[in-house]
Amino acid sequence: MAPRVFVNFRRADTGATGPHLDTALRQEFGEQEVFRDQRSIRKGAHFPAEITGALRKCDLLLAVMGHGWAAVTDGAGHRCIDDPEDWVRKEIALALAWGITVLPVRVDGADLPDAAELPDDIRDLARHQGEIFRPHQEHIDFPPLFEAVHKAVPDLRRRRPRRPQGDGGGATYHIERFDHGSANFGGSGTANTYNFGPEEDDEERP
């Protein structure tokens, strides 16, 4: 089974938020439905081929973006996003070119960059509606993010199905418990538990 959701992030911008979202998405939608490079690519594999092959089969790319997303620089002081070989840029550019849905995930309410700040091949990113994700309020922000993912990929099966509640027929969530190790989201008498231990070891992604 090919992953349906591709997590695009820059550790120098958002720290461990990308891997953290990857963990939560796998718990919500299934282990095989989410691609994140350091976790998903087997040792010894050809990195560019694995990235492009996985992305081509995905239906949704989550572009995880913090306040410094467009300003992160390399060792020479040049903006990473201006480098055509920068993989964060390349993944987004390919997704846009291939007609894959791109959903910006705005960490801590980061603004989307202006189109004028972006290279031509990802300029359209500035016109995409995004979702806010605040790590310190993830118990509030996970449910709408999961809903956005499900709407973008309607046939993506959820491991914890939500039952509609209320006159509007939409899914609502009641937060029953949240602590440093887990968050419970429940609706219509159900409760869903997400356990977030230490993130898997990753090599540093620029």
Q: Are strands 192-195 and 60-65 parallel, antiparallel or unpaired?
A: unpaired
Q: Which residue has the higher pLDDT, 162 or 196?
A: 162
Q: Are strands 34-35 and 5-8 parallel, antiparallel or unpaired?
A: parallel
Domains in the chain: boundaries = 5-160
pLDDT in the model for residue 29: 94
CB 71 within 8 A of CB 79: yes
What CATH superfamily is the domain 5-160?
A: Toll/interleukin-1 receptor homology (TIR) domain (3.40.50.10140)
pLDDT in the model for residue 70: 96
Q: Over the stretch 3-35, which tens digit does the pLDDT of each residue have?
A: 899 999 999 999 999 999 999 999 999 988 998
- pLDDT confidence bin for 176, thresholds 50/70/90: very low
Angle between helices 17-29 and 138-152 (to 10 degrees): 60
pLDDT in the model for residue 165: 44
Q: Which residue has the higher pLDDT, 93 or 49?
A: 93
pLDDT score of 196 more than 50: no
pLDDT score of 50 more than 80: yes
- pLDDT confidence bin for 1, thresholds 50/70/90: low
pLDDT score of 191 more than 80: no
pLDDT in the model for residue 35: 86
> What integer is the mean pLDDT of 164-192?
42
pLDDT score of 177 more than 70: no
CB 28 within 8 A of CB 159: yes
In angstroms, the CA 58 to CA 6 distance is 6
